[in-house]
Amino acid sequence: MISILLGIFTLLLVLVSVFLILVVLMQKARSDGGMGAAMGGGMAEATFGADTGNVLSKATINAAIIFFVLSCALYLGRIYEHKHATAPGAALPNISAPLPKPVSPISPNSPLAAPKPVTPVPTTPPAADKK
């Protein structure tokens, strides 16, 4: 269900992107020249009348808002789809294994036990031989 909705949003985003590109290219440049005039800026004025700048500005703003809303919706939708999607049969099987025998604590005489601290034995100096 969500993948169909995300596919429709993606198609709408592509269409809005193309529309936004065309609307931006139809606008006249501030210096009355440049790319806007080369790509049909004069024709847009003939089509929309004297109030061309206002119509194209509103169309650009609305298309940009729709573009950003669709982009955010697609981003959040893809995150949701990624977190909640499970392929059929992709779940790991439950395997029961016997529990290992409990390990008894290490006895003090075991070779794995920590060595005991060595206490120094007091030594007496050897007795001097008197002859």
Domain assignment of residue 92, yes or no: no
Secondary structure (DSSP) of 41-79: HHHHHHHH-TTHHHHHHHHHHHHHHHHHHHHHHHHHHHH
Q: Determine, yes or no, domain membership for 45.
A: yes
Range of the domain at 54: 2-84
Asked whether residue 114 is domain-assigned, the answer is no
For the ranges 26-30, 37-41, 112-116, 123-127, the maximum mean pLDDT occurs at 26-30
Q: What is the pTM of this model?
A: 0.51
Do residues 12 and 70 lie in contact, with contact meaning Cβ atoms separated by under 8 Å? yes
**Is there a contact between 16 and 59 (Cβ–Cβ < 8 Å)?**
no
pLDDT at residue 53 greater than cutoff 90: no
Q: What pLDDT does residue 14 have?
A: 96
Q: Which two tokens stand for residue 121?
A: 């034995």
The alpha carbon of 104 is separated from its chain's Cα centroid by a whole number of angstroms, namely 47
**105 belongs to a structural domain:** no
Decide if 89 is inside a domain: no
* pLDDT surpasses 60 at 7: yes
In a domain, 121, yes or no: no
Residue 47 falls within a domain, yes or no?
yes
- Residue 16's pLDDT band (cuts 50, 70, 90): very high
Count how many domains the chain has.
Answer: 1
Lowest average pLDDT, out of 33-37, 44-48, 54-58, goes to 33-37
Please report whether residue 54 resides in a domain: yes
